[in-house]
Structure 1
Amino acid sequence: MQPSINLPAPYGMHAGLANAFAACPLIAILRGVTPADAAEHGRALYEAGFRIVEVPLNSPQPFDSIAAIREALPADAIVGAGTVLHPSYVDSVKAAGGELIVMPHSDADVVRAAKVQGLACAPGVATPNEAFLALKNGADVLKMFPAEQLGPAIAKAWRAVIAKEVPLVPVGGIAPDNMGPFLAAGANGFGLGSALYKPGQSAEVTAAHAKAFVDGLALARGEAK
């Protein structure tokens, strides 16, 4: 007789994040943005088609920027924090209107704190062990980080054992013209940092970069007109 296999509980993604991700699976990382500029850049991203924006907590007054973007964007956008290194920050993110916690690591305490507050969470993972532990703790998205070191071959290997319902989101070194190999390997979306936004650039530059990424994603998906 074959031994029984205890399968994990069905994966369920945070509803708001799932809707935003379905609309556009590109996560804008506005590292270094200031509260005075945050809303303008958030609107530029939204108008280009983005629906998920994060402000890393090592930015100037990040909670004020999160609040400004949240107030500026329609309800179908998800705004959150990146580089969340300790669970004590989760309450402040929620108080600012954030709905998403993004991390460079997979600290179980941070993931659990996010889920207790009803927030979506995207922990950074670099190995299958980290990925499955993150999912066990309630992760909504697996942030493959750093993507430039992991590469499409790793994404393909992970996808063979990670349920297709779980989004794999490479972050690090992603450009408008290199998304195709990752998508072909099983990735679902991307986190976009300095190739999208650098501190001090104008909202017009952010809009142009955002359009390039949206067009690049369509091309990689075979959807370009």
Structure 2
Amino acid sequence: MTTYTETWSELASARVVPVVVADGEAEGLNVADALRRGHLPIAEITFRVAGAAAAIRAISEDYPEMLVGAGTVIRPDQVDAAVEAGARFLVSPGISEAVVARARAHEIPIIPGVATPSDIMRAVELGLDTVKLFPAGTLGGPAAVKAFAAPFPGLRFVPTGGISAHNMGDYLMLPQVLAVGGSWMVDRALVQGEDWERVTELSRDAVELAEQVVASRPLPHPADLHPADSLGTAVEGEER
């Protein structure tokens, strides 16, 4: 079984997290296969559609090497559904103490969304060290990441919202950015049109660009970002 720390390491290594709308098993498997062929074996399946859990389950069973997670998780029962389906990480558009607590009960990584300094302070109070800056483009792009990061040394960001092939490198150049989330390589029109070759091509391009950026600004080692006992401390009820 993959450990909590190993999942964080895989997220850091991926650098790009495709945000996927996959309504059901067939779409999920086709998207996953296209991403894999593009050397991007990770997917955040959004819970905005009814078939999300089925897509996660199919991917986790047929492509166990994929790092599949659940996005738009806004209620504790969705945490349960995502974990039961095989999700290995969770992403939320905002920060909910109930959702974070349920994720910790399942010992699964969660990346809650933040949009203000108050949101970030709440995340820190909950013992979190990685947050999703959302919607990053609307909030000011890479400049916003720098501004938000300054008062919170050690905090890592996964900017999402308005990320594209044209600006992802600007985010990944920042040492505070663990990875970026985006949907351009899995655009809904491409998925519904079953243009899997285009999904693969865009994924491959994203991976190559991320590698070029990392070559000039290496990411911190994942073990330095998430100590092995970080979840255990919270689960055991100690103050963080």
Which residue of the partner structure matches residue 177 of structure 1?
Answer: 166
Secondary structure at the residue paired with 1:53?
Answer: strand
CA–CA distance in 1 between the matches of 2:165 and 2:94?
Answer: 25
Q: How does 1:72-83 map to 2 (within 5 A)?
A: 72-75=62-65, 77-83=66-72
> Quick check: 2:12–2:178 contact (8 Å CA) kept in 1?
no
State yes or no: 1:16 paired with 2:1.
no
Give the counterpart letter for 2:62 in structure 1: A
Q: CA deviation digits over 1:107-149, x for unaligned, max 9?
A: 1111111111111101110112212312332445311100111
Which residue of the partner structure matches residue 99 of structure 2?
Answer: 110
CA–CA distance in 2 between the matches of 1:160 and 1:63?
Answer: 37
Secondary structure at the residue paired with 1:38?
Answer: helix
Aligned CA RMSD, in angstroms, stands at 2.1
CA–CA distance in 2 between the matches of 1:34 and 1:205?
Answer: 20
Q: How does 1:190-205 map to 2 (within 5 A)?
A: 190-198=180-188, 199-200=191-192, 201-205=194-198
Cα shift at 1:61: 1.3
Give ranges in structure 1 of 5+ residues lacking alignment. Answer: 1-12
Query: How many residue pairs align between the two structures?
Result: 209
CA–CA distance in 1 between the matches of 2:56 and 2:85?
Answer: 6
TM-score w.r.t. the length of structure 2 is 0.79
Secondary structure at the residue paired with 1:37?
Answer: helix
Give the counterpart letter for 2:90 in structure 1: I
> Quick check: 1:82–1:101 contact (8 Å CA) kept in 2?
yes
Counting aligned pairs with the same residue, the percent is 28
Which residue of the partner structure matches residue 212 of structure 2?
Answer: 219
Give the counterpart letter for 2:30 in structure 1: E
State yes or no: 1:152 paired with 2:145.
no
Cα shift at 1:18: 1.6
Give ranges in structure 2 of 5+ residues lacking alignment. Answer: 217-240
- The structure with the largest helix share of the pair is 2
Which residue of the partner structure matches residue 207 of structure 1?
Answer: 200
